[in-house]
Amino acid sequence: MIELLTTQEMGQADRLAIEGGTSGLQLMEAAGGAVAERAMRRTAPGDRVAILCGPGNNGGDGFVAARRLVEAGRQVRLALLGSREGLRGDAATVAGLWEGPVERFSVDMLDGVGLVVDALFGAGLARPLDGEAASIVAAVNEAGRPVLAVDVPSGLDGTTGRAQGPVVRATETITFFRRKPGHLLLPGRSLCGEVSVAEIGISQGVLGAILPQAFVNEPALWRSALAWPQPDGHKYSRGHALVVGGEGWKSGAPRLAAGAALRAGAGLVTIAAPFRALPIYASQLTAVMLAEANNPDGLGDVLADERKNAVLLGPGLGVGAGTAAMVKVALCGRRAIVLDADALTSFEARREDLFAMIAAEAGRDVVLTPHEGEFARLFGKETLTEAPSKLEAARAAARASGAIVVLKGSDTVVAGPDGRAAVNEMSSPFLATAGTGDVLAGIIVGQLAQGVAGFEAAASAVWIHGAAAARRGPGLISEDLQALMPGVLAGLAAGV
């Protein structure tokens, strides 16, 4: 499991390490040493490096790196924002060990350098950059030289991934102990460039006291929760997923979802659709079964078979009271539910009804899979815009709805009502094509049908979906994803 630490939690990790006997100076020497190591990979002896230090401990890391880089034969020029006398604590100590000149920043420092080390601001950023700090950032971005950011690109909030003011555009970022959400969330992820993590002498044990609630979405988070077929099993022991479909001319979305549910491992998948649409569905389906459901009562009849243990509603269903009524029927009972697309939008004006229905059956998994537009319609635009980050927006929505919320995008966040959250980085921009959301919803319902718990079902599905897309890359269309899934699942089954 890879934890993501807020800057506050990272401060706690530093403090716990210091209480445990590793001094702040040792941590800073290790951090600055790791920065120098990354800088050495990008430069050769004799190359010029500009190191820009800020007034706090981020600047301290810069002073350590400067000393180490000189020892390694780099030509270093170091600028300090603020005065040397203003430095405190460990930063003052390491500045005292720097024997070279301390300059005031000037643009000519960047001329012809092989690398700029951005050690202006890290976890201590307290407000948007302005004044001299802002003009340094502008000059660095303008110069177009490779930039190695220390901890975070200066100006970026590591907890949120947002920058309220000017921010350094880094080629590479090195952070310490664990990544922060802002390294994965946009726009942070694009501003960081390649991110590496250095161990600086903080023991894993501190995590037991911090209990982080945000994680990188990767197999270690959910691998043990996945379900695999057993030698003594049969198709019913792998679950029966039901996808509720609509009119024939909108049958593509439910068919994509149903196929994905089957590929994800559900033992049986049925699409329930109006009688008049069934021939259209039938002409395009083979392993996926069909059932007639002309209205909410009809859906109730189909669901009377309790072996149908996971239901997806939304793709191709249409927005309106009819869809809302179908959702209501599906939410009666203990089966797991995925609500996507039109099923979410149908509750735009009556979100409290939806949340009350979800709350009525404790312990049953409901997964909502909005993209940002659907999210704003269901939870209110302000939930998105007023939350400090996409991560917090998803968490707030999960708390409000009592459901697991998958807030999609290239930095998809999966959040549970208990505050647990995963930020996804296994994805491909080629997923931005029609129908891929339907496939994702199908993978989730396929996992739920197999009895995988809601959070793990959603997080693993997001990863599998992204990994499948990454295997194809250019030219990907949503129809391809199904055929790409077995390769991804085989890797998971083999534990790689």
Ligand X SMILES: NC(=O)C1=CN([C@@H]2O[C@H](COP(=O)(O)OP(=O)(O)OC[C@H]3O[C@@H](n4cnc5c(N)ncnc54)[C@H](O)[C@@H]3O)[C@@H](O)[C@H]2O)[C@@H](O)CC1
Binding site for K ion (CB under 5 A): 118, 122, 149-150, 154
Chain residues 363-392 in contact with ligand ADP, contact rule CB under 6 A? 371
Distance in Å, CB of 405 to ligand ADP, minimum: 13
Does residue 412 interact with ligand X by CB under 6 A?
A: no
The residue (of 7 and 345) whose beta carbon lies closer to ligand ADP is 345
Instruction: Please report the DSSP string for 443-470 in residue order.
Output: HHHHHHHTT--HHHHHHHHHHHHHHHHH
Peptide bond preceding 187 in cis form (omega within 30 of 0) = yes
User: Contact at 8 Å (CB) between 28 and 94?
Assistant: yes
Chain residues 6-35 in contact with ligand X, contact rule CB under 6 A? 14, 24, 27-28, 31
Does residue 13 interact with ligand ADP by CB under 6 A?
A: no
Does residue 442 interact with ligand ADP by CB under 6 A?
A: no
Does residue 332 interact with ligand ADP by CB under 6 A?
A: no
Chain residues 170-189 in contact with ligand X, contact rule CB under 6 A? 176
**Distances in whole angstroms, Cα of residue 370 to Cα of each of 34, 207, 413, 437, 480:** 40, 31, 11, 9, 22
The answer on whether 128 is annotated among ligand-binding residues is: yes
Does residue 239 interact with ligand ADP by CB under 6 A?
A: no
Does residue 150 interact with ligand X by CB under 6 A?
A: yes
Distance in Å, CB of 387 to ligand X, minimum: 22
User: Contact at 8 Å (CB) between 206 and 187?
Assistant: no
> Applying CB under 6 A, which of residues 252, 416, 437, 442 lies at the interface with ligand ADP?
437
Site map 42..61 versus ligand X, x via CB under 6 A: ------------xxxxxxxx
Given ligand ADP, ligand X, K ion, none, residue 123, with its beta carbon under 5 to 8 Å by kind, binds ligand X
Distance in Å, CB of 80 to K ion, minimum: 14
| Residue 161, C-beta contacts closer than 8 angstroms, at least 6 positions apart | 181, 182, 183, 184, 185, 186, 187, 188, 189, 389, 390, 391, 411
Does residue 482 interact with ligand ADP by CB under 6 A?
A: no
Does residue 410 interact with ligand ADP by CB under 6 A?
A: yes
User: Contact at 8 Å (CB) between 267 and 307?
Assistant: no
Query: CA 78 to CA 36: how far, in whole Å?
Result: 13
Distance in Å, CB of 325 to K ion, minimum: 54
Q: Which amino acid is at 321?
A: A
Does residue 434 interact with ligand ADP by CB under 6 A?
A: yes
Does residue 412 interact with ligand ADP by CB under 6 A?
A: yes
**Distances in whole angstroms, Cα of residue 84 to Cα of each of 56, 59, 87:** 11, 11, 6
Q: Point out which span in 6-14, 187-195, 207-215, 432-440 binds ligand ADP (CB under 6 A).
A: 432-440
**Distances in whole angstroms, Cα of residue 224 to Cα of each of 74, 106, 216, 433:** 47, 54, 16, 31
Instruction: Please report the DSSP string for 163-195 in residue order.
Output: -SS-----SEEEEESS--GGGTSTTHHHHH-EE
The answer on whether 154 is annotated among ligand-binding residues is: yes
The answer on whether 151 is annotated among ligand-binding residues is: yes
Would you call 89 helix, strand, or coil by DSSP?
A: helix
Site map 196..235 versus ligand X, x via CB under 6 A: ----x-----------------------------------
The answer on whether 122 is annotated among ligand-binding residues is: yes
Chain residues 103-142 in contact with ligand X, contact rule CB under 6 A? 121-127, 129, 133
Query: CA 151 to CA 330: how far, in whole Å?
Result: 47
Distance in Å, CB of 152 to K ion, minimum: 6
CA 453 to chain centre: 19
The answer on whether 141 is annotated among ligand-binding residues is: no
Distance in Å, CB of 341 to ligand ADP, minimum: 6
Query: CA 257 to CA 390: how far, in whole Å?
Result: 26
| Residue 494, C-beta contacts closer than 8 angstroms, at least 6 positions apart | none
The answer on whether 161 is annotated among ligand-binding residues is: no
Q: How many residues sit close enough to ligand X to count as binding (CB under 6 A)?
A: 26
Instruction: Please report the DSSP string for 217-279 in residue order.
Output: ESGGGTGGG-----TT--GGGG-EEEEE---GGG-HHHHHHHHHHHHHT-SEEEEEE-GGGHH
Query: CA 474 to CA 472: how far, in whole Å?
Result: 6
Distance in Å, CB of 26 to ligand X, minimum: 9
The answer on whether 60 is annotated among ligand-binding residues is: yes
Helices (H), ranges, 340-418: 341-345, 351-359, 372-379, 381-385, 390-401
Distance in Å, CB of 283 to ligand ADP, minimum: 22
The residue (of 205 and 429) whose beta carbon lies closer to ligand X is 205
Would you call 310 helix, strand, or coil by DSSP?
A: strand
Q: Which residues are annotated as a binding site for K(+)?
A: 58, 118, 154
Q: Which residues are annotated as a binding site for (6S)-NADPHX?
A: 57-61, 122-128, 151, 253, 316, 371, 438
Q: Which parts of this chain interact with ligand X (CB under 6 A)?
A: 14, 24, 27-28, 31, 54-61, 121-127, 129, 133, 150-151, 176, 200
Q: Which residues are annotated as a binding site?
A: 57-61, 118, 122-128, 151, 154, 253, 316, 371, 408-412, 437-438
